[in-house]
C-alpha cells in the first residue's frame, strides 16, 4: 500500500504541475482485503483524493488533482438542486449518493464522482435490498482523460442494464471545460448508429433517453450533447436534463426539465478560470 500511496502522490503532483496528463493508476493482483480497504477507506492513499473501480483482482484508481474538480462537480449538482426546489420538490426527495460504490456483482464495482437516485429507487422500510441504480451520473476528469471518461459512461449503462439514463462527463483544463451528455439510443435504432440517425435524435428537444432496461450486448451509447466553455465564449448551451429521465416518472404540473443555460454554466466553472 505504501508504494501505491507514493505513486498516487506522484500522479497528483504531476497533474498539479502540468494541469493535465494521466490521472489513472492501474493496479493488478489486488487481494480482497486491499480491494475492501480502497473501497471503504478513503484515506487509504493518504491525503490523495481518488475514485476506485475494480474487476476481479485488477483495479483502476482515478486521482483527483485538486479541490477545484470536486468543486465543479458539486456546483453542478447544487444548481440542479436549486432548480428542483424551485419546482416545489421537497429537498427530502432530492438524493445524491456522492461517491458511493455500485457493485453489479461481488467481483466488480465502481465509484462515480456524483450520482442521483430518485425516490422510486430507494428501498422501502419493508425492504432489505440495496438502493437502486442512479438515473444520472457525473464523471469528472482532466482533458486528457476524456476517452477514459467515455468508457466510464459505457460502464454505467452496461452494468445497470440501462437503468442509468444519463452520464454527464466534465473534462477540465485551464483554458476550457467540456461537458458531454451521454445516453443510450432506443432499442429500435439503426445498427450501427449513423451520423444521420444521431442527428435525427438530436433534433428532438430535448433528446430523451429510453426509459427502459436494455441488455449490455444490445446497447448503443452516444453523445447527445456537447458544450464547451472557455474564458471568452460558450458553445452548445444550454444543457437539458429531461425530468422524466431523472425521476423515472412524468413531470407534475409545476415540474419541468432541468435547463442549465450559458450564464449558469459560466457560474458553475467560475472557480476554474
In this prediction, the residues of the chain whose per-residue pLDDT falls under 50 are: none
Same domain, 263 and 181: yes
Cβ atoms < 10 Å from Cβ of 249: 13
- Using alpha carbons, select from 241, 249, 243 the residue that is nearest to residue 224: 241
Same domain, 239 and 143: yes
Same domain, 22 and 82: no
DSSP string, 193-226: PPHHHHHHHHTSSS-PPPSS---GGG--EEEEEE
Same domain, 197 and 110: yes
CATH code: domain of residue 262? 3.90.1570.20
> By residue range, what is the domain housing residue 90?
66-272
Over residues 162-180, the pLDDT tens digits come to: 999 999 999 998 889 999 9
Same domain, 106 and 241: yes
Same domain, 173 and 219: yes
Over residues 45-99, the pLDDT tens digits come to: 999 999 999 999 999 999 998 888 889 999 999 999 999 999 999 999 999 999 8
Q: Which of 41, 65, 89 is the last residue of a domain?
A: 65
Same domain, 30 and 126: no
Q: Which of 65, 93, 111 is the last residue of a domain?
A: 65
Same domain, 18 and 113: no
Class of residue 86 by CB neighbours under 10 A (exposed 0-12, middle 13-18, buried 19+): exposed
CA atoms within 13 Å, Cβ hemisphere of 97:
22
- Using alpha carbons, select from 13, 8, 78, 20 the residue that is nearest to residue 272: 20
State the alpha helices, DSSP H only, in the chain: 2-18, 32-40, 67-86, 146-159, 195-202, 243-247, 262-268
CATH code: domain of residue 34? 3.30.1370
User: What pLDDT is attached to residue 67?
Assistant: 82
CB of 63 within 8 A of CB of 23? yes
Cβ atoms < 10 Å from Cβ of 38: 22
Same domain, 60 and 71: no
* DSSP code, position 107: T
Q: Which of 18, 34, 65 is the last residue of a domain?
A: 65
Domain count along the chain? 2
Residue carrying the nine cell digits 462515480: 112
Same domain, 57 and 81: no
CB of 170 within 8 A of CB of 76? yes
Amino acid at each position: 500500500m505504501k508504494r501505491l500511496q507514493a505513486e498516487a502522490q506522484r500522479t497528483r503532483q504531476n497533474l498539479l504541475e502540468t494541469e493535465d496528463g494521466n490521472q489513472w493508476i492501474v493496479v493488478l493482483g489486488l487481494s480482497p482485503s486491499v480491494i475492501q480497504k480502497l473501497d471503504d477507506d478513503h484515506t487509504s492513499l493518504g491525503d490523495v483524493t481518488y475514485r476506485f473501480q475494480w474487476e476481479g483482482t485488477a483495479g483502476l484508481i482515478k486521482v483527483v488533482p485538486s479541490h477545484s474538480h470536486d468543486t465543479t462537480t458539486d456546483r453542478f449538482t447544487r444548481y440542479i438542486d436549486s432548480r428542483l426546489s424551485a419546482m416545489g420538490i421537497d429537498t427530502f426527495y432530492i438524493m445524491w449518493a456522492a461517491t458511493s460504490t455500485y457493485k453489479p456483482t461481488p467481483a466488480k464495482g465502481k465509484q462515480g464522482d456524483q450520482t442521483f437516485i430518485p425516490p422510486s429507487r430507494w428501498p422501502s422500510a419493508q425492504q432489505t435490498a440495496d438502493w437502486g441504480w442512479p438515473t444520472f451520473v457525473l464523471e469528472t476528469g482532466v482533458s486528457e482523460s476524456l476517452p477514459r471518461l467515455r468508457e466510464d459512461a459505457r460502464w454505467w449503462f452496461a452494468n445497470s442494464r440501462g437503468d442509468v439514463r444519463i452520464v454527464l462527463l466534465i473534462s477540465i483544463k485551464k483554458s476550457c471545460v467540456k461537458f458531454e451528455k451521454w445516453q443510450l439510443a432506443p432499442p429500435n435504432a439503426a445498427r450501427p448508429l449513423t451520423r444521420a440517425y444521431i442527428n435525427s435524435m438530436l433534433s428532438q428537444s430535448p433528446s430523451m433517453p429510453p426509459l427502459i432496461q436494455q441488455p449490455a450486448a444490445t446497447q448503443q451509447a452516444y453523445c447527445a450533447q456537447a458544450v464547451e466553455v472557455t474564458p471568452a465564449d460558450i458553445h452548445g448551451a444550454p444543457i437539458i436534463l429531461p425530468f422524466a429521465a431523472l425521476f423515472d416518472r412524468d413531470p407534475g404540473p409545476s415540474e419541468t426539465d432541468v435547463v442549465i443555460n450559458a450564464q449558469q454554466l459560466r457560474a458553475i466553472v467560475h472557480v476554474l478560470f
